[in-house]
Amino acid sequence: MLQVDLWKRVLIWATVVVGLLLAMPNAFYSRVETHNDAVKAIEAGFDTSENRDLAAGWPSYLPSGLVNLGLDLRGGAHLLAEVQVQDVYEARMESLWPEVRDLLRDARDEVGTIRLQPNAPLGELRIKISEPAGMNRAIELVRTLAQPVVSLTGAGSTDLEVRGEDDVLVITLSEAERQALDDRTMQQSLEIIRRRIDEVGTREPTIQRQGFDRILIQVPGIGSAAELKEIIGTTAQLTFQPVVSRTSDSSERPGVGNELVPALDQEGVYYILEQAPVVTGEDLTNAQPAFDQNGRPAVNFSFNPSGARRFGDYTAQNIGSPFAIVLDDEVISAPVIQAHIAGGSGIITGNFTVEESTQLAVLLRAGALPAELVFLEERTIGPELGQDSIDAGKIATMVAFVAVLVFMALSYGLFGLFANVALILNIALIFGLLSMIGATLTLPGIAGIVLTVGMAVDANVLVFERIREELRTARGPARAIELGYEKALSAIVDANITTFITAVILYVMGSGPVRGFAVTLGFGILTSVFTAIFVTRLLIVIWFERRRPKTIEV
């Protein structure tokens, strides 16, 4: 009557053993962590005897997955940045202007003279032409500049929209192009942030796209959010722009299509530059710290072929005139072009220190962020606070655990002990699951585990109470136990599914620590149902088979 098939027994024990094995590394946290780091280092090519010794600290045949500690437990910095994707529209339009200008200039007979209108909305070029009759021709000409959009959704459309408003030619980016641009901007930003953080070499940073234009960055072990911002926040936007003139008047009007940019190391000196750059940092393929012929720190750089060609053409045509090397809206230097620079490499000199030139080379190599980042949220958690939280959480969990164990034993005697075995397994299984999927344990997550300790016994309580009831009416203990499990099942399932629904909603809607809570709560429900329905039942059945008691007390 009261029996469990052999295959079920094997399956239940196997699940328990696998769960325990997966959870085990967490009991030796620092040892396994060192092992994992060493293994990673060896894979990355640092196959030193020291690393091999460290890796040997944990047997390789055992699982080595660990529960990640969240920022609130380990300490570190968290940033939520919004990428100003519109910045790219502007840059795009700026670089389009010279092409449009040259094109329309060649057709002067039909469209007359052209003037770029200032104060156009972002991502729009407005060009006034003196011969409105030539508008159709102008539109036709500019349309030849349009390229098909390369993206899945925008297939078949072109990147530019050209229309005429009276005597003003209006060029905007098409919707499809904007979307494709946005996507590219986000991908680029993510990639660049990742590269910059990797240059610093911290453990397991999280860099994720969130929503449409946001990036979540979490770096454990870093001193502060401000430090993290410094690593990723510098845009290092490098451009080479033609110089129109030099001035000391900061309020001088630069004129349409030009801009006023201060010099980096000379107070009160400003340059008026053409807005459209000749080449930008995007065309850089390499940058290395170096020294110029006078032995001062400098940065060597080289361009990709298309950048090299444009740079070569420009220098060939403008020998004798100055051009400016602009970094983040400041002119680093404005040398006069001495000769045609072919081959696409050059050197940036300025009043650098060695550190500055090294830093600049790193930033240039990592590439410029395509758009500005605005930080919407920043959190710094000190490692001491994290450690305090872990310690407090450990003590609280132990006390909660012992209290519940004692309480169950007092309430249900031997059956209580069975439930307690299940409860201990339950916690181990939660850690096993968390380690398996590499989940992150947060402070609310610890609370979730403690809550699970309290609630996990519920399924067993339901069954035991039911057995008590059945004992009063049923024929014998075996029947009572069987009925107890049978009849309590629907309540257990319904009660846990409803709680599980809320855990899922928490996971989907929540973020960070709250998500950590949802994960432990959800796993706690799964493991507690498993241990209550299968493990305690199996324990009771095994006990029952051996003892064959005539009466039982629950």
Binding residue for another protein (CB under 8 A) from 24, 272, 381, 427?
381
Binding mask 349-378 for another protein (x = CB under 8 A): -------------------------xxxxx
Of 40-48, 194-202, 411-419, 536-544, the window that binds another protein (rule: CB under 8 A) is 411-419
Residue 373 Cβ vs another protein, minimum distance, rounded to whole Å: 9
Using CB under 8 A, which of 82, 177, 182, 470 touches another protein? 82
CA torsion through residues 207, 208, 212, 214, sign: negative
179 versus 397: smaller Cβ distance to another protein: 397
Nearer Cβ to another protein, position 356 or 469? 469
Smallest gap, in angstroms, from Cβ of residue 318 to another protein?
41
Residue 476: CA count within 13 A, CB half-sphere: 7
Q: What is the DSSP letter of 294?
A: T
Total residues interacting with another protein, rule: CB under 8 A: 77
Among 88, 408, 439, 480, binds another protein (CB under 8 A): 408
* Closest to 131 in 3D by CA, of 161, 80, 169: 169
Shortest Cβ 123–another protein spacing (Å)? 20
Tokens coding 511? 């973020």
The tokens describing 273, both together, are 């530059």
Is 340 within 8 Å of 257 (Cβ atoms)?
A: no
Q: Which of 195, 203, 379, 479 lies at the binding interface for another protein (CB under 8 A)?
A: 379
Among 43, 165, 249, 384, the residue binding another protein under the rule CB under 8 A is: 384
Closest approach of Cβ 521 to another protein, in Å?
A: 7
Question: Is the Cα dihedral 244, 344, 357, 194 positive or negative?
Answer: positive
Q: Quick one: angle between helices 477-509 and 443-473, nearest 10?
A: 160
- C-alpha 30 chain-centroid distance: 26
What number of helices (H) and strands (E) belong to the chain?
16, 19
Work out how close the CB of 341 gets to another protein at its nearest, in angstroms, rounded to a whole number: 40
For residue 185, give Cα distances in angstroms to 15, 303, 366. Answer: 46, 21, 15
Rg (CA), the chain: 34
Using the minimum distance from each CB to another protein, give the nearer residue, 319 or 392: 392
Q: Among 165, 410, 550, 551, which residue interacts with another protein (rule: CB under 8 A)?
A: 410
SS (H, E, C) 197-230: HHHHCCCCCEEEEECCCEEEEEEECCCCHHHHHH
Which of helix, strand or coil describes residue 62? coil
Contacts to another protein from residues 388-407, by CB under 8 A? 388-389, 391-393, 395-397, 399-401, 403-404, 407
The Cα 278–Cα 274 span in angstroms is 9
| Binding positions for another protein, 196-255, rule CB under 8 A | 224-226, 229
Q: What minimum distance in Å lies between the beta carbon of 400 and another protein?
A: 4
- Tokens in use for 156? 């078949």
Cα 507 from Cα 311, distance rounded (Å) = 52
Q: Binders of another protein among 497-536, rule CB under 8 A?
A: 497-499, 501-503, 505-506, 509-511, 513-514, 517-518, 521
The least distance separating another protein from the CB of residue 286, rounded to whole angstroms, comes to: 32
List the interface residues with another protein, window 456-495 (CB under 8 A).
457-458, 461-462, 465, 468-469, 487, 489-491, 494-495
Ramachandran angles phi, psi of 57, nearest 5°: -65, -15
Q: 44-73: which residues touch another protein (CB under 8 A)?
A: 72
Residues numbered 416 to 455 that lie near another protein (CB under 8 A) are 443-444, 446-447, 450-451, 453-455
Q: Which is nearer to another protein, 72 or 182 (CB)?
A: 72
